[in-house]
């Protein structure tokens, strides 16, 4: 009989040797970690034949793996996005107590490694084979942080979780945000690193109890040689409120998956994305919103500006189960191409199994408006400045999803810096 098994790529082969070296130093269930890696090995890294990875072929894009990050040396911290925030620092995937702020009243901060040892956190392996980023995280992530907000607590000070890479190495981290009933918190996850071809895997799990509220701003700003694989997985109970905005600026390759599930009625979620890519960057936002219960609302708006020979992908799906009557779900994805070689792919989808819903999706890909550009040029505004003004106006609607005004201004400044350097 002919053996049709696929030969392993260099990266797929390296996974086992990296895992065997890392496992003795990882807290948590070793058997679960082995099961996670074995599942990845059995399926291989996903190719374009896997529908969820049709436009981001990880096997082709990730040829080899960087060595695992070792002990960090001197760490140079960037200025905070927001002055006065409670800062939690993860260096090459590991919690750094010396650089982190203490917890706040109503907020408990626990290193993930400690939580894994005590049983307060667990290694879990997703059954869905398309969730390969999470399976890799389950196998390798030995540290990160658990943020637990007490029921009823209102955390007025924003929390910044700074992921900083100091080495051109592979790092894995997990953040767990647990918000008790009636509590509220605002979190900034920021990813930076100038250490060459670093490879980062970062998973964030969010659990919102009844009536809880959380706003997350996720800023991905690594160097132009980085690989960034990220997941945000959120579960919402009744009357919970959730806001999430992704800002994608850095990295040669980035893929961020967002999964949101309404588990209790009368929940509301607003999800957004702001992307600016140039050179040969490849950026992928993949989104799945599952309305499993009735009377919930979701809004998704993603905007991208693509320059050079960069490629932007948006894949979004709203799933409305049979019991999720009175669902209101709206999704939009819009991209502006700034060069002839830039490329944008938009793939919005609806899967509706209920009959009393209001759901819609839309997607556009185009260039800057010639008439508006001519209007500005005719008034003596230089072309680059005119294009910058039009791009900021195009992105403005997505900016408004960032509720904190100071953070909105900080993100606007980051994007304006990139646009001014075109």
321-340 pLDDT, tens digit per residue, is 999 999 999 999 999 999 99
> In the block, which residue shows the tokens 């992928």?
284
Mean pLDDT of 300-306: 98
For 138, phi then psi, to 5°, come to -60, -35
- Cβ burial of 119 (10 Å; 0-12, 13-18, 19+) is exposed
CA atoms within 13 A of residue 417's CA, in its CB half-sphere: 9
Residue 358: which pLDDT band, with cuts at 50, 70 and 90? very high
Q: What pLDDT digit, counting tens, does each position of 408-420 carry? A: 999 999 999 999 8
pLDDT at 271: 98
Q: What is the pLDDT of residue 5?
A: 62
- ∠ CA 246-326-400, nearest 5°, is 25
Q: Is the confidence at residue 1, as pLDDT, over 50?
A: no
- What is the value of pTM for the model shown? 0.95
Residue 381 burial (CB count, 10 A)? 15
| Residue 286 φ/ψ, nearest 5 degrees | -120, 130
> In which band, very low, low, confident or very high, does the pLDDT at 195 lie, cut at 50, 70 and 90?
confident
Q: What order of strands is seen across the sheet that includes strand 213-220?
A: 94-95, 86-91, 159-165, 184-193, 213-220, 241-248, 268-277, 297-306, 328-337, 358-366
Average pLDDT, whole number, for the chain? Answer: 95
Predicted local distance difference test score (pLDDT) of residue 35? 98
Please say if the pLDDT value at position 176 is more than 90: yes
Q: Where are the beta strands (DSSP E) in 116-212?
A: 144-149, 159-165, 170-179, 184-193, 199-208
- Average pLDDT in the 334-359 region? 97
* Lowest mean pLDDT segment, chosen from 66-75, 97-106, 186-195, 305-314: 66-75
For the stretch 265-281, pLDDT in tens is 999 999 999 999 999 99
Residue among 234, 369, 334, 363 at smallest CA distance from 288: 234
């Amino acid at each position: 009989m002919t053996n049709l098994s696929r030969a392993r790529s260099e990266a797929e082969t390296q996974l086992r040797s990296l895992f065997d070296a890392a496992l003795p130093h990882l807290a948590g269930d070793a058997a679960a970690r082995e099961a996670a890696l074995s599942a990845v090995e059995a399926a291989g890294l996903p190719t374009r034949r896997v529908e969820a990875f049709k436009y981001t072929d990880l096997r082709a894009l990730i040829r080899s793996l960087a060595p695992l990050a070792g002990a960090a040396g001197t760490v140079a911290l960037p200025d905070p996005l927001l002055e006065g925030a409670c800062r939690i620092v993860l260096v090459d995937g590991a919690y750094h107590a010396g650089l982190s702020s203490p917890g706040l009243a109503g907020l408990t901060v626990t290193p993930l490694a400690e939580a894994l040892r005590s049983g307060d956190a667990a290694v879990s392996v997703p059954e869905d084979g398309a969730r390969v980023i999470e399976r890799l995280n389950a196998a390798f992530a030995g540290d990160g942080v658990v943020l637990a907000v007490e029921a009823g607590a209102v955390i007025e000070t924003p929390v910044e979780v700074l992921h900083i890479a100091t080495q051109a190495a592979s790092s894995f981290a997990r953040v767990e945000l647990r918000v008790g009933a009636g509590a509220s918190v605002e979190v900034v996850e920021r990813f930076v690193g100038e250490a060459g071809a670093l490879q980062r895997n970062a998973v964030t799990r969010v659990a919102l109890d009844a009536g809880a509220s959380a706003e997350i701003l996720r800023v991905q700003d690594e160097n132009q040689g980085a690989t960034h694989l990220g997941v945000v997985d959120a579960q919402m109970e009744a009357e919970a409120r959730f806001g999430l905005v992704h800002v994608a600026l850095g990295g040669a390759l980035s893929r961020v998956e967002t999964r949101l599930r309404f588990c209790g009625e009368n929940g509301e979620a607003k999800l957004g994305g702001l992307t600016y890519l140039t050179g040969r960057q490849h950026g992928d936002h993949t989104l799945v919103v599952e309305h499993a219960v009735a009377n919930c609302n979701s809004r998704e708006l993603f905007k991208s500006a693509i320059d050079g020979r960069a490629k932007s992908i948006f894949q979004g799906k709203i799933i409305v189960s049979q019991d999720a009557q009175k669902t209101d779900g709206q999704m939009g994805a819009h991209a502006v191409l700034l060069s002839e070689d830039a490329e944008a792919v938009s793939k919005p989808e609806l899967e509706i199994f209920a009959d009393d819903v209001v759901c819609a999706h839309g997607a556009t890909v185009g260039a800057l408006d010639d008439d508006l550009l001519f209007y500005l040029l005719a008034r003596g505004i230089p072309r680059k400045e005119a294009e910058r003004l039009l791009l900021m106006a195009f992105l403005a609607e997505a900016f408004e999803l960032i509720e904190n005004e100071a953070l909105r201004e900080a993100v606007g400044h980051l994007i304006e810096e990139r646009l001014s350097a075109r």
